[in-house]
Every structure is written in C-alpha cells, then in structure tokens.
Amino acid sequence: MKRLVLALLVAACGGGNSPGGGDAAIDAPAHLDANADAAASPLALTSPVLAPSATFMTANTCDGANASPQLAWTGDAHDAQSFAVTLTDTSISLVHWVIYDIPAASTGLPADVMKVYAPANVAGAHQTDSYQAGMRGYLGPCPPQGGGAHTYQFAVYALDVAALPGASMSTTRAQAVPLIQQHMLATATLTGTYAR
C-alpha cells in the first residue's frame, strides 16, 4: 500500500497579536515523523475560506481576529474513533495549534473554535496551550513583518482511540503531537500561505 511520509517538527511558537510580533520558537523542537507507517487514504481536508495553496484571510491571522477558519473533512477515515487537527508553520517547522478528542461523528470544525481547553462549540474536544502565554487554542499565521510569506499546513488525523491516552489539561503541543501520531489511522492536509 502506498505510504505517505511527512516530517513534522514540534515546538512552541512565539508571536502574538502585536504588529511587530512574529512566529518564534520558545521550546526546543523535537523531530517527529507524522505519517510514518500510515497508509495513504482518500481522506480530504477543505475549507470554504482557504483554497489549497491560497493566502489566508486576514481574519484567520494575527493581523485580524485570530479566528480559526471553518474546516471540513470527507472520505475514508478508516473507522476512526476520534479526530485531531493541527496547524503548523512548515516554513520554520513550528506547531501553532492542536485540537484533539474531536468526536468520530464529526465531519469538520466550525469557524472560530473557542480558545479554551474544552470548547463548547466542538463538544468533547480538547485544545493544548497556545504560543501566547495564558492562551489556549488557535492562534493563526503571524510571520515576521517583511520576512516574506510563510507556508502553513492544517492536518486532520483520524485516530484509533476515542480519547487521546495520557492527554490532560496540562498537555502541551509538543506532547500532544506524538500521542496523536501513535494512534493515527489516516491523515489529510490543507496548505496556505501568509506574509506581513
């Protein structure tokens, strides 16, 4: 069976909403092989506000509302018991967002997922800390001003567990991603760009 391999480094991000801020590592990265031994599947990830390889809408970045975009997935989820979604700045291999324990019946995420551990608008799901101190959930693209466009990739993971084992309110992005990878059945990605 055809195999899909994607290298994903996990680290925390810095930046925030200030116009001069930008993505920056605040923790040591750990090399992770996101799709090792995961079979390629017809699982697909889309968004009504982000076409593949298109520019992020300002509302979904640090220059706007920093609201997560609506996402949808379709196709063969290989009898998933739950889903997880990440957002990674692939230009500098930094993870921005991790949401997991998304119920198996879900076919996507609404726009503007609440920035709390257990968002009410995604019942059952949990989110890790953000790259901005004291915040959880989605903080979008925020590359350095004048530094050119960065590439950002959403990934949805179909998982073989209903709840991510060992994960709790104190689980960080760097801890959550390898847990997700250990239970991955299938994955799909959606990539966009953003410059400031």
Burial, 175: exposed, middle or buried (Cβ in 10 Å; 0-12, 13-18, 19+)? middle
The span from the CA of 149 to the CA of 137, in Å, is: 23
| ∠ Cα 173 65 135 (to 5°) | 35
Annotated domain spans of the chain: 7-194
The number of angstroms, rounded, from the C-alpha of 78 to the middle of its chain's C-alpha atoms is 20
Helices (H), the chain: 173-182
pLDDT tens per residue, the chain (196 residues)? 333 333 333 333 334 433 344 554 433 333 334 443 344 458 999 999 999 999 999 999 999 999 999 999 999 888 999 999 999 999 999 999 999 999 999 999 999 999 999 999 999 999 999 888 788 999 999 999 999 999 999 999 999 999 999 999 999 999 999 999 999 999 999 999 999 9
**7-194 fold:** Phosphatidylethanolamine-binding Protein (3.90.280)
Q: What is the pLDDT of residue 24?
A: 46
Angstrom distance (rounded) from CA 39 to CA 78: 10
